[in-house]
Structure 1
Amino acid sequence: MLKVNFYNDIEDSQLKFAVIVSKHQGKWVLCKHKNRNTYECPGGRREQGEAIWATARRELYEETGARDYAIQQICIYSVCGNDGAIENNTESYGMLYYSDIKEFDKLPDFEIEKVEFFDQLPDNWTYPEIQPVLLQRVEAYLQHR
């Protein structure tokens, strides 16, 4: 079982991932990977030497084609546990962002098959123990800003 934790501060070098919970015209923006039948938030792994904010912007473009958007840092999150993909209890850290996407370019030809827009969040998540928790955190942020 996986556990998601939230933090206000951590050493930058520990941040390995960026996840960008996004909306467009009031609808949730989710990606469908070419090799899966599930949905996920845009996001991915930080490249060597890349600032975490640059990871978020790169992944948002690569996975949605977002061209014009506002992006806000929400908080640091971590995932630990064992679900078959994460094989030990080592904590992995990432930065959680929220983006309001105003305009899209053509979806780049990488790993994402398509982008879909949702009024209600789907049940078939790629990472069902992680993504709904991150979305709840962003929803709470949006309600209190």
Structure 2
Amino acid sequence: MSEIILPPSLTAIRDDFLALEQRDRLQLLLEFSQELPALPPRYAEHPDLLERVEECQAPVFIFPEVDSDGIFHLHATAPAEAPTTRGFASILAQGLDGLTAQQVLDVPDDFPYMIGLTEAVSPLRIRGMLGILGRIKRAVRAHLG
């Protein structure tokens, strides 16, 4: 069985979560929820450009983009009243930002299970993060043609 290679940004996030006790992992997730980058004005002023992530219970909207240099950026919005979902969006926004399109596609589909939150949050919430990652990858594949 081959070792899973994650980009350094996601490796650091995973290691930060796994270094904590279960109850502290939820606190770290809440900290991530407070660090979700604000939408750039071009998206904040045009919410119609964002895609709703239907797998999430809370209204999460994303706009994954690959710039002209082939570098990935994720713009996302989620309500402050949904800190778990907002935290997941923030983890992906911070962990995937600056990667190449191929590096994003190479992230294991089950990454949400790798950060040790399956006992801290409900399976439905994990499914939401899986949905965000799946929609990101679909958008990147569409961009690559």
User: Which TM-score bucket, shorter chain as reference?
Assistant: 0.3 to 0.5
Higher strand share: 1
TM-score normalised by length of structure 1: 0.33
Higher helix share: 2
TM-score normalised by length of structure 2: 0.33
